[in-house]
Structure 1
């Protein structure tokens, strides 16, 4: 999955759907190519920064969803 939403909640949802690769669109083109090659070889590739955050971040909501929830709570 090549995404501009490389956040823990998005990663968790993507993994539940069976995604084998997860990388941000903002990554260097050479890095994206390397990830594609890794996936083509049948291996899995998940961005290490996002996966680390997903492990410690228990909230399944996206940043935007959290913002909406905060604003709604404020009236």
Structure 2
């Protein structure tokens, strides 16, 4: 689970820099949502901003991951 949180933070920063350049704009507040496909479970619901995606204590692997980044009306849900 630590790896998944690290991955989310890394991807958020990387996408933020590539989408908005290296300048920081205080009015841009990104919102990230993500969804996990879990072994023997299937796609789970969307969660966001640090919530757990996947399962805890069930020894089931996350097989796929979808992310959506939104900021000030900008939305990109094609990141899979």
TM-score, shorter chain, exceeding 0.5: no
More strand by share: 2
Q: What TM-score comes out, normalization by structure 2 length?
A: 0.26
More helix by share: 1
